[in-house]
């Protein structure tokens, strides 16, 4: 079954009908079926028998429906509160129509829904159910007319997906095995960009035009971008075509930057093949290259047409690269809190669910703030010191994720989170990541943080952790504290 879940007012019944029509199957509505079974409208049943009895009957009906048959089933907003229902949903394709409390209230306030009478209670209910929807959903779409049906046309069976919505556009982030082959309706011909390490892999799409760039951060430069742009021109790429970036964050940033600037902008599909790029770099539309003076100093915001995170590509990823990605997973879990932090803090291995959880967390942050004006800055947790270390060591000594591991430790010390820092240090060490660096030039690192791109006035803003899930940006720290936090990283 395809099952639609989501809060009141999300439009689940309509979406179920649209999807069913699309697939030539039947639409089922749990509330309607229940009303028929109990012989009265739901609000009347609620008034007469109370919520508890309603939930009991609802659970019974849904578990029965989920046991067999086919079609598209719309669930009532509260159905996921039942653990039995959540359990029964496993193995079905669950689509969440994501709606925030404000939008839901404006759609429901004048209805006869029994749970939409008091604004505060309504919002509290939304907050309580939200993590339950997250737990069961494999496909997450905005609660807009037609969005779910459209989504199911592009998301391959068995894959997970979330729609990123920003001022600059809307696009799916699809996670799963084999999704690099998904047809996401990208315009024109693909111009595949890969690096030398990846070009021979069996999953690299075969295309008429493939451009190979040298691997590594030291090649994320204007010189490489110029060669790539020239190659696009020589291969007759037009504004109706698209760049298909297959690789880690270096290829994604570089190819994305070229797509943003080639003929003032052509489409790009991001197919991240490192853990780091899947959970972070490919999502959010930041593209760019480094200058000798500073990392990512030249770039553009350019939202992808789609992100295809094919988890089968990770099989060939070297262990050290996997570890580097783990540092960003840990960062994301600290920012998101909730089930993701619980999993990661318990030392869980990174699987598809975790990758999807990280992607969702990043999507949620960038949706709220595309251009780093505010909330998006939380993603920079650990990165102020990390970027400074990378700059000082000439981008060659450490992988980005390894620098992030060190940066996270500095950020946690600056946050006064000594216990959490010790826990995170253990998790990083278990993954084989560095927790200190021999011969680190502390003064140079402190000086380099002053040139951080996030600085707008005199102060360099830091991102600090109050608790997992409660991360704050725009904090200032004293020079002495910063120095001490960096000093501690020197072996």
Ligand X SMILES: NC(=O)c1ccc[n+]([C@@H]2O[C@H](COP(=O)([O-])OP(=O)(O)OC[C@H]3O[C@@H](n4cnc5c(N)ncnc54)[C@H](O)[C@@H]3O)[C@@H](O)[C@H]2O)c1
Q: Which residues bind ligand X (CB under 6 A)?
A: 195, 197-198, 215-217, 220, 247-251, 253, 273-274, 276-277, 280-281, 284, 286, 296, 313, 316-317, 321, 324, 399-401
Write the secondary structure of the chain as one string of H (helix), E (strand) and C (coil). Answer: CEEEECCCCCCHHHHHHHHHHHHCCCEEEHHHHHHHHHCCCHHHHHHHHHHHHHHHHHHHHHHHHHHCCCCEEECCCCHHHCHHHHHHHCCCEEEEEECCHHHHHHHHCCCCCCCCCCHHHHHHHHHHHHHHHHHHCCEEEECCCCHHHHHHHHCCCCCEEEEEEECCEEEEEEEECCHHHCCCCCCCCEEEEEECCCCCCCCCCCCCEEEEECCCHHHCCHHHHHHHHHHHHHCCCCCCCEEEEEECHHHHHHHHHHHHHHHHCCEEEEEECCHHHHHHHCCCCEEEEEECCEEEEEEEECCCCEEEEEHHHHHHCCHHHHHHHHHHHHHHHHHHCHHHHHHHHCCCCCCHHHHHHHHHHHHHHHHHCCCCCCHHHHHHCCHHHHHHHHHHCCCCCCCHHHHHHHHHHHHHHHCCCHHHHHHHHHHHHHCCCCCCECCCCHHHHHHHHCCCCCCCCCCCCEEEEEECCEEEEEECCCHHHHHHHHHCCEC
Q: What does each C-alpha distance from 87 to 11, 36, 55, 135 come to in angstroms?
A: 23, 25, 16, 10
In the complex with ligand X, which residue's Cβ is closer, 98 or 217? Answer: 217
Q: Cβ of residue 270: shortest distance to ligand X, in angstroms?
A: 9
Cα 102–341–282 angle (5° rounding)?
75
Q: Cβ of residue 45: shortest distance to ligand X, in angstroms?
A: 50
In the complex with ligand X, which residue's Cβ is closer, 58 or 280? Answer: 280
Q: Cβ of residue 284: shortest distance to ligand X, in angstroms?
A: 5
Q: Cβ of residue 343: shortest distance to ligand X, in angstroms?
A: 21
Q: Cβ of residue 342: shortest distance to ligand X, in angstroms?
A: 24
In the complex with ligand X, which residue's Cβ is closer, 42 or 164? Answer: 164
Q: Cβ of residue 447: shortest distance to ligand X, in angstroms?
A: 20
Q: Cβ of residue 395: shortest distance to ligand X, in angstroms?
A: 8
In the complex with ligand X, which residue's Cβ is closer, 73 or 275? Answer: 275
In the complex with ligand X, which residue's Cβ is closer, 80 or 277? Answer: 277
Distance CA 352, CA 28 (A): 30
In the complex with ligand X, which residue's Cβ is closer, 136 or 245? Answer: 245
Q: Cβ of residue 106: shortest distance to ligand X, in angstroms?
A: 33
In the complex with ligand X, which residue's Cβ is closer, 66 or 388? Answer: 388
Q: Cβ of residue 436: shortest distance to ligand X, in angstroms?
A: 21
Query: 227: number of CA atoms within 13 Å, CB side?
Result: 11
Which residues are 170's β-sheet partners? 165
Q: Rg for the chain (alpha carbons), in Å?
A: 24
In the complex with ligand X, which residue's Cβ is closer, 13 or 380? Answer: 380
Q: What does each C-alpha distance from 328 to 204, 208, 355, 405, 453 come to in angstroms?
A: 25, 34, 11, 8, 19
In the complex with ligand X, which residue's Cβ is closer, 280 or 431? Answer: 280
In the complex with ligand X, which residue's Cβ is closer, 283 or 477? Answer: 283
Q: Cβ of residue 304: shortest distance to ligand X, in angstroms?
A: 10
Contact 140, 161 (CB under 8 A): yes
In the complex with ligand X, which residue's Cβ is closer, 9 or 249? Answer: 249
Q: Cβ of residue 161: shortest distance to ligand X, in angstroms?
A: 19
Q: Cβ of residue 401: shortest distance to ligand X, in angstroms?
A: 6
In the complex with ligand X, which residue's Cβ is closer, 241 or 280? Answer: 280
């Amino acid at each position: 079954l395809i099952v639609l879940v989501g809060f009141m007012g999300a439009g689940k019944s309509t979406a179920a009908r649209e999807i069913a029509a699309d697939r030539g199957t039947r639409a089922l509505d749990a509330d309607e079926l229940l009303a028929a079974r109990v012989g009265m409208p739901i609000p009347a049943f609620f008034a007469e028998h109370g919520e508890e009895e309603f939930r009991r009957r609802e659970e019974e009906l849904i578990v029965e429906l989920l046991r067999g048959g086919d079609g598209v089933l719309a669930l009532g907003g509260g159905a996921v509160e039942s653990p039995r229902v959540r359990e029964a949903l496993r193995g079905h394709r669950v689509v969440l129509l994501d709606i925030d409390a404000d939008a839901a209230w404006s759609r429901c306030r004048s209805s006869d829904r029994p749970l939409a009478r008091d604004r505060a209670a309504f919002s509290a209910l939304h907050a309580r159910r939200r993590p339950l929807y997250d737990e069961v959903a494999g496909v997450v779409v905005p609660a807009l007319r037609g969005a779910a049906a459209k989504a199911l046309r592009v998301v391959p069976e068995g894959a997970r997906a979330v729609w990123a919505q920003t001022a600059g556009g809307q696009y799916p982030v699809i996670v799963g095995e084999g999704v690099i082959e998904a047809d996401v309706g990208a315009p024109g011909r693909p111009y595949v960009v890969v690096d030398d390490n990846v070009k021979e892999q069996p999953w690299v799409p075969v295309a008429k035009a493939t451009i190979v760039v040298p691997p590594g951060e030291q090649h994320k430069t204007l010189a490489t971008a110029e060669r790539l742009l020239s190659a696009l021109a020589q291969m007759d790429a037009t504004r109706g075509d698209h760049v298909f970036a297959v690789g880690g964050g270096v290829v994604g940033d570089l190819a994305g930057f070229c797509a943003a600037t080639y003929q003032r902008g052509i489409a790009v599909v991001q197919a991240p093949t490192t853990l780091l790029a899947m959970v972070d770099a490919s999502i959010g539309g930041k593209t760019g290259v480094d200058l000798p003076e500073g990392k990512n100093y030249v770039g553009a915001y350019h939202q992808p047409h789609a992100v295809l995170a094919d988890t089968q590509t990770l099989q060939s990823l070297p262990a050290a690269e996997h570890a580097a990605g783990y540092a960003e997973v840990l960062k994301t879990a600290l920012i998101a809190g909730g089930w993701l932090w619980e999993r990661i803090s318990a030392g869980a291995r990174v699987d598809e669910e975790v990758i999807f959880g990280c992607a969702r967390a990043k999507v949620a942050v960038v949706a709220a703030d595309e251009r780093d004006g505010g909330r998006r800055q939380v993603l920079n947790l650990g990165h102020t010191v990390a970027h400074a270390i990378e700059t000082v060591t000439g981008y060659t000594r450490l992988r980005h994720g390894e620098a992030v591991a060190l940066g996270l430790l500095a950020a946690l010390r600056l946050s006064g989170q000594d216990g959490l820092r010790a826990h995170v240090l253990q998790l990083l060490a278990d993954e084989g990541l560095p927790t200190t660096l021999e011969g680190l030039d502390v003064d140079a690192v402190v000086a380099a943080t002053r040139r951080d791109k996030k600085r707008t006035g005199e102060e360099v803003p830091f991102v600090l952790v109050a608790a997992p899930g409660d991360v704050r940006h725009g904090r200032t720290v004293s020079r002495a504290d910063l120095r001490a936090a960096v000093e501690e990283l020197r072996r």
